[in-house]
């Protein structure tokens, strides 16, 4: 029977720590971490995400600003706002909410954010530092970073282990692979072109799934005692939120598993909050 | 019986193309690609490498400058030279030869070189773009890039193939893994902490070895028809230059193999020349 990795409980604990760090920073340095989320247009899902981030940030004592721009905003105008926040010393983290309308090149926007204010960890220079296992401090994509916190809290060792990353996205797959590699795992990065995923997963100690496909893993695909992390957020036939893997089927065979909902999801937003405070701290004691 | 990937012949062909590109650029744009190699101290091996690069560059028509600095040079002084070449419009590529003396932080030097003049492809922003499979033009570490040219010239397909990278260095293992992943391979990155390398290599279509260890692979470790690329440059008991893998033992089982010497080695320097011209071309038509 698996140990369930309780993302909600961990996120609560992490948020508590973040809140305490905010208080200490205010007391010791007179600084309140500032996070701005720029949102373009009225997409209901995006609005909900942003509201969620805003409320959590406020609750933890972070100075949270939501900058709403119209769907018709030009790239130039959006970049003007990014530039303004780049130059605002009270703002330590800048995030531009996905998705963006067609007239805006997302890559231009990602690169316009100062690397030291890149709270999402998407800027190429931060991605490069991660891949190079750089020893300085830099932000990292929040979902993979949150998963690393899960490993650490549950004492799941990566060194010398066989890890499989299902998916190679810029936001999850690639940074997750780099983080596991940096911790000493052997890492296989698989994706939709991989012919036989089971050939890899059946010997894996750790499997992270970010495929966006239902039934990615069943118990015949994994070995006894594996750890399975499910990043998937899919709707099943009944319209319920489910992950990539067959949770119930795997449950008796694996050692650790994350549920959906209540696993990776809550950790992503808690990690965003943590990293907002990291950026504020690093701005005080810059080492790179 | 394997097809031998002839690095010397390929390098010769690539150099010929590079030489023609240099001529055309001079005719069409009035520009000669400029490459500066900064070398610190008198290490004989480094001096030999630099002389080799310098002669090849000159032969291909590249404006090659070797800047010799004393072993005792300060980091500040070295960075002053980097800055001078950064600002020199006749210089398109800057390379600082490894190794550097203790008083100099190699990372500082790598980051001081403008990303668009980073002919080695070591700057974090270029590494980040590679890992993100960015669609713009940027330099890539020369040894892995040269290996990709080998794959292309010998029509060795990567898409959907199982690839194994033995070694996770910043110069070879990581960029090589990223390049193969970007071409659609499933990539496993292994290293000295990997418990059972054969578990991976026995099912691999493509294996790149950069372990610096003799006898990394024998015929029992690979499947029939695999491609084996040997980046190793080791001295055996008799003092001869040999690769990582047991070439003779593998020869009858694999489909493609690189010899040492005469495989990856010659392609690295030819790729450096190619990339010097790339940087000069991109400086004329900047897209990123």
CA distance B180 to chain A (A): 11
The model's pLDDT over A208-227, given as tens digits with 9 standing for 90+, comes to 999 999 999 999 999 999 99
pLDDT higher than threshold 50 for residue B95: yes
The model's pLDDT over A267-276, given as tens digits with 9 standing for 90+, comes to 999 999 999 9
CATH number assigned to the domain with residue range B29-116, chosen from the 4 options 3.40.50.10860, 3.30.830.10, 3.40.225.10, 3.40.50.1400? 3.40.50.10860
pLDDT reported for residue B81: 98
pLDDT reported for residue B285: 76
Q: Which of A6, A67, A118, A120 is catalytic?
A: A120
pLDDT higher than threshold 70 for residue A286: no
pLDDT higher than threshold 70 for residue A166: yes
CA distance to A238, A259, A265, A270, B11, per residue, from A241 (Å): 9, 11, 11, 20, 54
Best mutation target, B187, B207, B287, to test chain A (most A CBs within 10 A): B187
**Ligand-binding site membership of A168 (annotated):** yes
A108 part of the active site: no
The model's pLDDT over B99-141, given as tens digits with 9 standing for 90+, comes to 999 999 999 999 999 999 999 999 999 999 999 999 999 999 9
Q: Give the C-alpha separation, B113 to B107, whole Å.
A: 10
Does any CB of chain A come closer than 8 Å to the CB of residue B160? yes
**Residues of chain B contacting A158 with CB distance shorter than 8 Å:** none
Find the length of chain A: 288
Residue A199: closest C-alpha in chain B? B203
Residue B126: closest C-alpha in chain A? A128
CA distance B100 to chain A (A): 18
Q: Give the C-alpha separation, A200 to A221, whole Å.
A: 9
Q: CB of B146 within 8 A of CB of B152? A: no
Domain with CATH 3.40.50.10860 in chain A: 29-114
B17 part of the active site: no
CA distance to A5, A26, A40, A221, B11, per residue, from A102 (Å): 39, 40, 11, 40, 44
Residue B1: pLDDT band with limits 50, 70, 90 = confident
CATH number assigned to the domain with residue range A29-114, chosen from the 4 options 3.40.50.10860, 3.40.30.10, 3.75.10.10, 3.40.718.10? 3.40.50.10860
B69 beta partners: B40
Task: Give the single-character DSSP code of A254.
Answer: -
Nearest C-alpha neighbor of A56 from the set A88, A98, A8: A8
CATH number of the domain located at residue range(s) A142-266 in this protein: 3.40.50.720
The model's pLDDT over A188-210, given as tens digits with 9 standing for 90+, comes to 999 999 999 999 999 999 999 99
pLDDT higher than threshold 60 for residue A287: no
Average pLDDT in chain B: 97
pLDDT higher than threshold 70 for residue A72: yes
- Mean pLDDT confidence for A227-248: 96
The model's pLDDT over B178-212, given as tens digits with 9 standing for 90+, comes to 999 999 999 999 999 999 999 999 999 999 999 99
Q: CB of B127 within 8 A of CB of A131? A: yes
pLDDT reported for residue A1: 83
Q: Give the C-alpha separation, A170 to A183, whole Å.
A: 19
pLDDT higher than threshold 50 for residue B265: yes
C-alpha B191: how far from chain center: 19
Nearest C-alpha neighbor of A11 from the set A287, A279, A258: A258
Is B187–A188 a contact, with Cβ atoms under 8 angstroms apart? yes
The model's pLDDT over B43-73, given as tens digits with 9 standing for 90+, comes to 999 999 999 999 999 999 999 999 999 999 9
pLDDT higher than threshold 70 for residue A288: no
The model's pLDDT over B216-260, given as tens digits with 9 standing for 90+, comes to 999 999 999 999 999 999 999 999 999 999 999 999 999 999 999
Does any CB of chain B come closer than 8 Å to the CB of residue A128? yes
B29 part of the active site: no
B38 beta partners: B67, B96
CA distance to A206, B218, B219, per residue, from B252 (Å): 36, 11, 9
Q: Give the C-alpha separation, B121 to B128, whole Å.
A: 10
Angle between helices A264-284 and A44-59 (to 10 degrees): 60
DSSP string, B14-61: HHHHHHHHHHHHHHHH----EEEEEEES--HHHHHHHHHHHHHHHHTT
pLDDT higher than threshold 70 for residue B288: no
Q: CB of A228 within 8 A of CB of A245? A: yes
C-alpha A277: how far from chain center: 15
Q: Give the C-alpha separation, A85 to A189, whole Å.
A: 36
> What are the CB-based long-range contacts (under 8 Å, 24+) for A243-249?
A243/A209, A244/A166, A244/A209, A244/A210, A244/A211, A244/A212, A244/A213, A244/A214, A244/A215, A244/A216, A244/A217, A245/A209, A245/A215, A245/A216, A245/A217, A245/A218, A246/A215, A246/A217, A246/A218, A246/A219, A249/A218, A249/A219
C-alpha B207: how far from chain center: 17
The residue ranking higher by pLDDT, A181 or A286, is A181
User: Measured between CB atoms, which of B160, B188, B190 is closest to A193?
Assistant: B160
R_g (Cα) of chain A, nearest Å: 19
pLDDT higher than threshold 60 for residue B26: yes
A188 beta partners: A164, B188
Is B200–A178 a contact, with Cβ atoms under 8 angstroms apart? no
Domain with CATH 3.40.50.10860 in chain B: 29-116
Does any CB of chain B come closer than 8 Å to the CB of residue A67? no
Nearest C-alpha neighbor of B29 from the set B288, B287, B277: B277
Q: Which of B67, B97, B275, B278 is catalytic?
A: B97
Average pLDDT in chain A: 97
Q: Give the C-alpha separation, A54 to A68, whole Å.
A: 12
Domain with CATH 3.40.50.720 in chain A: 142-266
Which helix (H) or strand (E) element contains residue A66? Answer: strand A63-69
Is B160–A195 a contact, with Cβ atoms under 8 angstroms apart? yes
The model's pLDDT over A116-143, given as tens digits with 9 standing for 90+, comes to 999 999 999 999 999 999 999 999 999 9
Does any CB of chain B come closer than 8 Å to the CB of residue A134? yes
The phi-psi region of residue B283 (left if phi > 0; otherwise alpha if psi is between -120 and 50; otherwise beta) is alpha
């Amino acid at each position: 029977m698996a140990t369930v990795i309780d993302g909600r409980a961990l996120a609560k604990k992490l948020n508590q720590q973040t809140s305490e760090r905010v208080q200490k920073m205010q007391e010791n340095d007179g600084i309140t971490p500032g996070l701005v989320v720029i949102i373009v247009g009225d997409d209901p899902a995006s609005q909900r995400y942003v509201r969620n981030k805003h409320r959590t940030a406020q609750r933890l004592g972070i100075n949270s600003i939501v900058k709403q721009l119209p769907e018709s905003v030009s790239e130039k105008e959006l970049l003007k706002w990014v530039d303004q926040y780049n130059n605002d010393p009270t703002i330590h983290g800048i995030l531009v909410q996905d998705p963006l309308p067609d007239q805006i090149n997302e890559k231009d926007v990602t690169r316009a954010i100062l690397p030291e204010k890149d709270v999402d960890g998407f800027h190429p220079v931060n991605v490069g530092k991660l891949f190079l296992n750089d020893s300085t401090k830099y932000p990292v994509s929040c979902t993979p970073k949150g998963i690393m916190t899960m490993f650490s809290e549950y004492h799941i060792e990566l060194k010398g282990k066989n890890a499989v990353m299902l998916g190679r996205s810029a936001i999850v797959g690639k940074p997750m692979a780099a983080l596991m590699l940096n911790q000493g795992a052997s890492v296989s990065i698989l994706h939709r072109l991989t012919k036989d995923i089971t050939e890899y997963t059946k010997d894996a100690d750790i499997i992270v799934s970010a495929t966006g496909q239902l039934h990615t893993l069943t118990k015949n695909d994994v070995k006894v005692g594996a750890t399975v992390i499910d990043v998937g957020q899919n709707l099943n036939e009944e319209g319920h939120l489910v992950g990539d893997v067959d949770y119930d089927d795997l449950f008796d065979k694996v050692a650790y598993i994350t549920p959906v909902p209540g696993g990776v999801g809550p950790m992503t937003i808690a990690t965003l909050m943590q990293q907002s405070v990291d950026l504020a701290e690093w701005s005080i004691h810059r080492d790179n």
